[in-house]
Amino acid sequence: MTGDLQFSWELSGSGWATCRIADGASEQKDIVSYCTDALADLLHHVAGLYGPTSVQRVSFDLEPAESRWVLRVRDPDVSIAIYLFPDMSTSYDRPDSEGRLVWRTKQPRALLSHAVVEAAQDVFRIHGEDGYRAKWVQHPFPVAALQDLRRLHMRDDSCELPHEVASP
């Protein structure tokens, strides 16, 4: 598998996480709020790429802005477009075209899934369930969502990268 995709999710304070995605050309970084179950939402929507729906949308609350990821399956790749809206309270049901496109890339689904699984496992390894809940406050660590995405990725992708399956 080729590609320069990098993804990280770091808890950066009580109720805040730094989400960073980058390819070989550019990056997008957002400070995400705990007002939504953001990491669980991302895991669920990336897992959705393995189902019959060709488009997945996940929104992150940046208080007050919205960062909306639009994931489109184009086998074996996924196009990722990130749109920024100034106010999540008014933009949630608005069409993607009303947002400002701030980042885009096309990557193999296997690489995206692997990067998201690895980042979530890193969060779990660093904080554990109790530490995650203490920092993220509103939501527990999304163990089931991580396990589901990992299972789908390992079942359906020909990923040659190493996989840690010990946690969680």
The one-character DSSP state at 166 is S
- 22-51 pLDDT tens trace: 999 999 999 999 999 999 999 999 999 999
- 54-78 pLDDT tens trace: 999 999 999 999 999 999 999 899 9
Backbone angles phi, psi at 33, to 5 degrees: -95, 155
- Going by DSSP bridges, is the β-strand pair 66-74/77-85 parallel, antiparallel, or unpaired? antiparallel
Q: Is the peptide bond before 64 cis (omega within 30 degrees of 0)?
A: yes
Please identify which residue in the block is written with the tokens 């997008």: 28
Q: Is the pLDDT score of 165 beyond 70?
A: no
Question: H helices of 38-142, where?
Answer: 38-47, 88-91, 109-136
